[in-house]
Amino acid sequence: MASGDIPVERVAENDHAFAIRDINPRAPVHDLIIPREHIADAREIEAGHAETLAGLFTLAGEVGRAEGVHESGYRLAFNVGEAAGMTIHHLHLHLVGGRQLGHEG
């Protein structure tokens, strides 16, 4: 995805991350914000990743505004490990919104 090998719809990007539409959306707005630096999952985050993570969350805010869910609200979530439903072994942040979300999302 990052290299352009897999066709995806890019929503936004910055120096540290890019955002794409989820191919199996769980809500009207469901984007993935993906750091350019490889981090397998949240269990591997270290202090040295601070700049990457700042870029990731900054982009998430920009995507929320661009997708029109900034005012109504949205969910940001990491899946960590297979039991949580993680299927892509590269850290990515789900931005989900566009409808009323329950506790299970």
Distance CA 49, CA 88 (A): 19
Residue 68's Cβ-side half-sphere holds a number of Cα atoms within 13 Å equal to 4
Query: Which residue blocks in the chain are alpha helix, DSSP H?
Result: 50-66
Q: Which of the following is catalytic: 89, 92, 94, 103?
A: 92
Is there a catalytic annotation at residue 89?
Answer: no
User: Which of the residues are catalytic?
Assistant: 92
